[in-house]
Amino acid sequence: MILLCCVFGLILCTLSGFMREFMNRQTGAAILSVFVCSTLVWLLLGTPSSGINEANIFLVYARNFMDGHGFVYNVGSEQLEGFSSLLWMLICSFFYMMNRAVEVPLFLLNLLFGIITVYACLKRCNQKPTFLVLFCSVPAWFAWCQIALEESGLWCLLLTLSILAVSERRTSQSAWLLPLLALTRPESMLWGCWLILILFLGLGLDRGWRAGLRAVFRPAFTFGMVWATLALFRGHYFGNLLPSSSFTKALHGLQVNMGAGVFYLLGYLFSNPVVLLVVLVFGWACGREIVRKRGLSRALAVGLCLIPALGIPLMVGDEKFRAFRYYQPIWPLLCLVSAWAMPLLYERLSKLFRWLAPVSLLLVGWVIFTLTANLKHEFRMAGKGREQGAVLARMFEGHASLPSVAMTTAAGCKYIYSGEVYDLKELTVAKDHMPGGERGVESQTTFNREVFHEWSPDILIRSESDPSDRYVIQGLQSELRFRERYIKGELWYNDEIFFAYFSRRFINGLEEGHYAFNQDLQYALNMEDWQESSVAFPGEVRRPNHRTTHSSGFNLYQTPLRLYQQE
């Protein structure tokens, strides 16, 4: 609790300094642009209220942490760093301590982060309309940094302020921004070292190498102390010196997924004409500074600082999310450098084109986002997970032992449902340390079936509309061992209906007369042992041998709660 209050107090002090200057300048453009664009994106995404599944992961850990269970996903399980940002998890914990309904406060906080980010760029830009047009032409930034309710907005703010401080050789601000950066994302280990190197290079060219070395000592010391403290804490608490993420796994294994990283970069460049335009102008501006041999100018320093943004996706490879989440946090800086260079290009354009270009860029950017981003699915699946958790909570309310559940988008379900929930896609449980088990927080490549059978969950929820389920589970439902242990169908309790795979052991243990089960006949016909199951059904619950059709089109075969198999 003391650590939480100290961290949040440091953030408030940081924000208060910016807000004092902000209120003195009365810059409404940042507020208007962020608020209006975020609202439009929120409407386009179907007015989500719970963020994406990864946002629910933070909320699960925050709730368990504030309830005194520590950093755990399932209460009573092994302590595990299954979240991607320690600082954002602590922020979520603070809001959870104040009010259990944390979604609106987190959204407002993300809006504040976005406003400060835009304001910091506008303050350094003479071509403010140009920057705002470029920035607002990519709605994906608002989706990931505002609406998703994860740490992207915080990461974007700290990364922007840190790079601007380094490019302007401000060692005092760098000394407290870099430690906050280290608390936010695992890749800050690379970002921080690189930014310190660029800061030393700029100071050395301006003041001499000895003076530069003395000046860079304080930022390097504070950043190193925070990282060393985090490493000691992780080693003592989690048993790992490094955080669990796809970046640190790639760094530890020296795996560079160059092919996937290149395709990911090309996909980002051609995802929106505005992105391609901004990146081309950004590259031209940096190249122009190199040719002019003006030393480490501000534009060139920002360009050099952004090199890790290219290298990290090459190491990690592709990701499962659409709209290129990895690159969104650097978008404000790309727009800023491009806006610095735009006056040189405007001189060669006619006045009519100068007026038509901004309108065209905004229109094209938003139309392309609406047609191609397809982010609504991420928010819909997170909301559906919460709905499934609510159904399970009502069906098994009052049970001393709640059934365990396994699914791919499990965080929403886990946030509502008190029983044990296994996340097949994220694997945010202790089985990460099993021999042969593989775990990925951001980039999933395999699914260990042995881990699944050791968990032996009572219920496996399969989303037919989620293509990632087929990728993660890898045909688990067609495995002989799985067919021997699980049966597919509907479980009825009062007015509640739940369609999933159920453990035969779990079905056998339910109370007769309270629950009814309808087996999926199509699935049963594909089972090698389906004829060995008894179909005697208690008459007071269901009539036997009655075939029905599920609303999704599945044929259902009503079976008893007790399924006797021949030994």
pLDDT range class, residue 314, cuts 50, 70, 90: confident
What is the token pair recorded at 196? 């310190």
pLDDT surpassing 70 at residue 245: no
Among 19-33, 68-82, 375-389, 432-446, which is the least confidently predicted range?
432-446
pLDDT range class, residue 554, cuts 50, 70, 90: very low
Give the mean pLDDT of 147-162.
95
pLDDT surpassing 70 at residue 250: no
- In order, the DSSP letters of 71-135 are S-SSTTS-----SS-HHHHHHHHHHHHH-S--HHHHHHHHHHHHHHHHHHHHHT-S-HHHHHHHH
Domain residue ranges of the chain, discontinuous segments joined by +: 28-44+115-143+158-175+183-374, 377-559
pLDDT surpassing 70 at residue 308: yes
Stated as kind and residue range, the H or E segment containing 557 is strand 555-559
pTM for this entry: 0.83
- In order, the DSSP letters of 469-536 are HHHHH-SGGG-HHHHHHEEEEEEEETTEEEEEEEEHHHHHTSPBTTBEEEEEHHHHHT-TTGGGS---
pLDDT range class, residue 119, cuts 50, 70, 90: very high
CB atoms inside a 10 Å sphere around CB 351: 8
At 254-294, the pLDDT tens digits run 455 677 778 888 888 998 999 999 999 999 988 888 888 77
CA dist 79 and 237 (Å) reads: 7
